[in-house]
Homo-oligomer: A and B are copies of this chain.
Amino acid sequence: MINFTVGPVQSSEEICRIGAEQVPYFRTSEFSSLMKENEKLILQFAKADEKSKAIFLTGSGTAAMEATVINLLTSKDKVLIINGGSFGQRFVNICSVHNIPYTEIKLERGKDISEDQLKEYEGKNYTALLVNVHETSTGVHYDINLISEFCKRNNLLFIVDAISSFLADELDVSKLQIDVMITSSQKALACPPGISILVISEKAEKLIYENDPHSLYLDLKDALKNAERGQTPFTPAVGILIQINARLKEIEHKGGIEKEIEKTAELAEDFRKKIKGLPFEIESDSLSNAVTPIHPITNSAYKIFEILKDEYGIWVCPNGGDMSDYMFRVGHIGNLTKEDNSKLVDAFLDLQKRGII
């Protein structure tokens, strides 16, 4: 199978090779050193300042999103949530479950946020802003500079889910003054799913120590204290953390974060060029390098996903719920090449020949 989904994605040979190794015992100085190295490289690639910290949670991205909300926000906050799809909605649901007062800025499917839309919320005593910089469900990559400037002017705590964008799109945590940046192992990190990562500013760290998250597993104080010695409060997904270590070093050796983003951007551009002329619409205002969202005009998106899977050995990424017939997505993260793009486009051309699209 060739995997064009947005996670889990394809891993490099080296990452797969490590997957075959026995998982070592981890309450050791050896594992602590590896974890400290993971933290250093994540902070480096996020361009976070030297007072920032990284936390590695064993859980899905949603665990990290919820941990962020409950450790940093309380019922005294007044939160703005940019909601342009199912991951924006997830932040809404998390705030709702935990009784955090919020206002949603609902965006139309496929639309970026505009200066005008934000203006309405200027100077209104909001305390924090939550955004999924790449709304993975619709493939919209928001104007993060615009949002960052808004947060700076209004002195908002700035929380950014960059789960499917980190390492694929430019993101300068320090310059944008992001207080919490969230990502996961199975996106552009191209490791198996199971680990989520938080990059935490000094300001966010202080808030974590002031708050009571009412959770043991998601208590970031505990995670921060353990991280000082390169450990975690509970048995983590050790194997995946070792794979992450190799992958971070792989990125560094290949020229660093800029090269990695460039590679993904080229792959995305190559694909978008190759599908011109096919009966597809791309409805996104602003694309991430990570994904191309495709609305097929002539057949159900889910049907196309199924045929590609069963007859061509290719996974594209179906959408869920009421979007399932409308849209599928093609990922450009993970260990993919331009030749893989060509194979997918050949399959599309064949579907066209067969009258399926």
Contact = CB atoms under 8 A, between A and B. Distances in A.
25 contacts: A1-B22, A1-B25, A3-B24, A3-B25, A8-B23, A8-B238, A8-B239, A16-B21, A16-B22, A17-B20, A19-B21, A23-B192, A28-B309, A58-B60, A58-B63, A59-B217, A62-B216, A63-B217, A63-B234, A66-B217, A90-B216, A97-B214, A192-B240, A194-B194, A217-B218
Contacts of A121: none
Contacts of A16: 20-22
Q: How many copies does the complex hold?
A: 2
A107 interface: no
Interface stretch (A37-45, A153-161, A270-278, A313-321): A313-321
Contacts of A26: 8
A103 to B, nearest CB: 19
Nearest to A309: B28
A168 B234 CA distance: 22
A230 interface: no
A240 to B, nearest CB: 7
Contact of A23 (B24, B186, B215, B218): B186
For chain A, what secondary structure do more than half of its interface residues adopt (helix, strand, loop), or is it mixed?
loop
A36 interface: no
A193 B61 contact: no
A1 to B, nearest CB: 7
Interface string A181-220: 0001010000011100000000000000000001111110
Contacts of A63: 58-59, 63, 217, 234
Nearest to A185: B237
Given A59-B217, A216-B97, A239 B320 contact: no
A10 interface: yes
A21 to B, nearest CB: 7
A328 to B, nearest CB: 11
A291 to B, nearest CB: 14
Nearest to A1: B24
Given A20-B20, A193-B58, A215 B216 contact: no
Given A7-B235, A19-B20, A66-B215, 15 more contacts: A8-B238, A11-B22, A16-B22, A19-B21, A23-B186, A24-B315, A60-B234, A62-B216, A184-B235, A186-B235, A192-B238, A193-B238, A194-B240, A237-B237, A237-B240
A5 interface: yes
Cβ-closest 9 pairs across A and B: A194-B237, A19-B19, A20-B20, A60-B234, A8-B23, A192-B239, A194-B194, A25-B315, A62-B234
